[in-house]
Amino acid sequence: MAAETWSSEPIRGRRVRPGTLLRAASDAIPPPGLVLLAIMSVQLGAGLAKNLFAYLPPSAVVFLRIAAGALILGLVARPRLRGLTRRDLGVGVAFGATLGLMNLTFYEALARMPIGIAVAIEFLGPLGVAIAASRRRLDLLWVALAGTGVLLLAPGGEGTVTWAGIGFALLAGVCWAGYILLSAATGSRFPGASGVAFAMLVALIIVAPVGVATGGANLLSPEILLLGLGVGLLSSVIPYTIELEALRRMPKNVFGILMSLEPAAAALVGLVILGEVLNVREWAAIACVVAASLGSTRTSRA
């Protein structure tokens, strides 16, 4: 029964493929709901990863996340190199290197500050890409709001932020900006999802030496491997699939507006799952970044 590719129960007199059932289930959820599910999946994955820091250093957790994502996406997309030029492969390699470095720097930031703050600072990367592509006077307001958020997060007083954490988060934001630009270039050169799968394999090759060296024998623990698989699913495979379905059914600018809520969602996950209580100044900083991202996306030209 489990090996059958067709469902055994007819629906309205017809047999239905399991994939059709999954598509029907996703169609039953409004597109904004899909985006919010993707956001929560990413942040829950980050929360699970941060819990793993008690057993593994951040670089080893990144290795597990990328290994899980590369394995699953590789099996699903099966990237093929036939017909690709050296320039195409170069773009894919650059995309993968950026992806690996983005994860490494973000997890190092995550180890040094609450998840909501790390995501808020990292979010300056895509915000910068959006503003640079617009070049309007109104964007100065969003720049000022984002800058105010960063100033509010400066270490001091009773805050939980360190300069090292800010540095890693800013580097992750720069990598995220590069990820956005390179993902578009890779998508135009690689068919379907094969570009992402190829980039994940490249990222795995890059992070494997440091991840294995720092993780050591702990990486062989079945419990650790299972948790690493969960991080890969929640942080990469599930949200990527959901976001593609959401983009199929909604305008990109609306998608961008909803994605602007990601720092707030990260702070909420940090509070509920990790017990990370932020002070008023830190919540205000996150609000500034969210407002800047919302404003930039809302007022952008098509």
Higher pLDDT, 21 or 44: 44
In this structure, the dihedral spanned by the alpha carbons of residues 236, 241, 245 and 247, taken in order and rounded to 10 degrees, is: 30
146 and 288 Cβ atoms separated by less than 8 Å: yes
pTM score of the predicted model? 0.84
Query: Is position 2 within any domain?
Result: no
Helix (H, G, I), strand (E, B) or coil at 11: strand
Query: Is position 149 within any domain?
Result: yes
Helix (H, G, I), strand (E, B) or coil at 14: strand
Tokens 């930031």: give the residue: 109
Query: Is position 133 within any domain?
Result: yes
Query: Is position 153 within any domain?
Result: yes
Structural domain boundaries enclosing 241: 33-298
Q: What is the pLDDT of residue 26?
A: 58
Give, to the nearest 10 degrees, the angle between helix 252-259 and helix 280-298.
170
For residue 158, pLDDT beyond 70? no
Euclidean distance between CA atoms 60 and 43, whole angstroms: 19
Query: Is position 50 within any domain?
Result: yes
Query: Is position 13 within any domain?
Result: no
CA 76 to chain centre: 19
Query: Is position 257 within any domain?
Result: yes
Task: Report CA-CA distances (Å) from 4 to 7, 75, 212.
Answer: 7, 20, 39
- H-helix or E-strand containing 67? helix 58-77
Task: Report CA-CA distances (Å) from 64 to 61, 153, 296.
Answer: 5, 30, 35
Tokens 């000022």: give the residue: 144
If one counts the domains in the chain, the total is: 1
Residues 49-72 pLDDT 10s: 999 999 999 999 999 999 998 888
Q: How confident is the model at residue 16 (pLDDT cuts 50, 70, 90)?
A: very low
163 and 155 Cβ atoms separated by less than 8 Å: yes
8-state DSSP, 137:
T
For residue 179, pLDDT beyond 80? yes
Query: Is position 177 within any domain?
Result: yes
